[in-house]
Structure formats: structure tokens, C-alpha cells
Amino acid sequence: MAWATRFLSAVCFFAAGVLFAPDVFIGDRSGSGATAVTAAKVSHLLCFATCWGAALWATFIGGIIMFKNLPRHQFGNLQGKMFPAYFTLISACAAVSVAAFAYLHPWKAASAVERYQLGFLISALGFNLSNLLVFTPMTIEMMKKRHKIERELSIGDEVGWSKNVKTAKSNPTLAAMNKKFGMIHGLSSLANILSFGSLAMHSWYLASKLEL
């Protein structure tokens, strides 16, 4: 994933440049013509749609289906591989959306509504990056430690939480690990939900611009 990290860093740097120094990074917008504006709109729409769709699926559909049908350790190991890729994808898409929207609506000339929308996009990017760089690595590390404890107790191959909850009542070590994991996982889930909410606000804005 090293290449993905470098690519994401470059995209975020470019997005920040377009936001804070548009003349340096993209030149004079007035002379760019309709082609550049259309390209920015397409980039924004495709990247936002990818980010929104991936977040919707991973948060409310795919993860729930996998949890209800896979053995818990298998589910956790799969999530440990999937979520770094997921947050890399939606962070890159959010960064492109920020750059494109900032290009189309420069801060100095933007209306209050457009500034709020840029704020929502930046918030989504920030929450996704916090998950990618902080919460997800911590969650995966904590999950591996808990899996080790559970394997020693011969649990984890079942579907659902029933054996974990029952065993934790008589095992202080597992109970303490559950508490730590729950706290980190809760922060990760909160950041993901806040990102989804920010994207939802922007989807409402885009819908108001459509003429069907």
C-alpha cells in the first residue's frame, strides 16, 4: 500500500494547493475555457459519487452482511484488509472533489452556501484521513491482540458475538480487551459516520442543482 499512500499524499497536497493558492497551482481560471470547467465538473461528480457510493455500501450494507454470515475472526481479518483500501479510495476521491469544487468556486468569489459545501467536503476528507492514518491501524492492531486471546480460549470461529460476551463475563483479560477495542472501534465508526453525514449534506446540494 506504499504506492497508494504516496498517491494519496500527492492528491491531498494538490487539493490543498488548489484551495489555498489556486493561481499558483492552476493558473488564471478565466483563460482556461469551458473544457477545464467541464473537466473539473466531471472529476468532482465522478469522485464524489464513488466516495458516496463506497461509503454507503461499506457502512450500511456490505459490513453488516459479512458480520452476520462469516465466522467472527474471518470477518475481522477480511475487514483488516479491506478497510485500509476503502479509506484510501474514499480519501483520494474526497481530495479530488475538494480540489475540483475549490476550482469551480474559488473561496473569495464563492457564496456562503458554496463555502459551507466546501467545508462539508473538507470535513469528509479530514474524517476519512483520520480513519486511514490513526483509527484504522489502531483498530487492526487491537483486533489482532483480541484474536490471540480468543484463540487461546477456543472461541472466534463462530458467527456473531455470543461466545465472546459469555466468556468475557468470567475472563477479565478478554473483558478489558473488549473495552479497549470497543473504544477505538467506536471512534473509527464515529469518524466514518460523520464523513458520511458530510457527504450526505453535499449530495443534497448537488440534487438542488439538477434539472430533470
Predicted pLDDT of residue 3: 55
Number of domains in the chain: 1
Tell me whether residue 11 is in a domain.
no
Question: pLDDT (tens digit, 9 = 90+) per residue, 36-79?
Answer: 888 888 889 999 999 999 999 999 999 999 999 999 999 999 99
Instruction: Check whether 152 has a pLDDT greater than 60.
Output: yes
Whether the per-residue pLDDT at 2 is higher than 60: the answer is: no
Mark residue 176 as left, alpha or beta (left: phi above 0; alpha: psi -120 to 50; beta: remaining): alpha
pLDDT in tens, 103-126: 899 888 889 999 999 999 999 999
- The span from the CA of 24 to the CA of 98, in Å, is 17
Domain membership flag for residue 23 = no
* Spatial contact of 75 and 102, defined as CB atoms under 8 Å apart: no
Is residue 154 assigned to a domain?
yes
Query: Is there a domain that residue 62 lies in?
Result: yes
Q: Is residue 7 part of a domain?
A: no
Residue 77 lies in a domain: yes
> How far, in whole angstroms, is CA 58 from its chain's centroid?
10
On whether the CB atoms of residues 93 and 50 are closer than 8 A, the answer is: yes
Q: Quote the CA–CA distance of 52 and 203 in Å, as a whole number.
A: 8
- Segment 154-169 shows an average pLDDT of 90
Q: What is the pLDDT of residue 210?
A: 85
Helix pair angle (72-104, 112-130), 10° resolution:
150
Which region among 36-40, 121-125, 168-172, 193-197 has the lowest average model confidence (pLDDT)?
Answer: 36-40
9-26 residue pLDDT tens:
665 555 565 555 555 455
**pLDDT at 19 (0 to 100):** 54
Helix (H) or strand (E) holding 28: none
Q: Which pLDDT band holds residue 161 (cuts at 50, 70, 90)?
A: confident
Asked if residue 21 belongs to a domain, the reply is: no
What local confidence, expressed as pLDDT, does residue 38 receive? Answer: 84
| Triad 127, 132, 98: Cα angle to 5° | 50
CA distance 118 to 145: 39
Domain extent, residue 104, equals 34-209
- Give CA angle at 181 (179, 185), nearest 5°: 120
Cα–Cα distance measured from residue 122 to residue 124, given in angstroms and rounded to the nearest whole number: 5
Assess if residue 51 is contained within a domain.
Answer: yes
Which of 119, 54, 61 is closest to 91 using CA atoms?
54
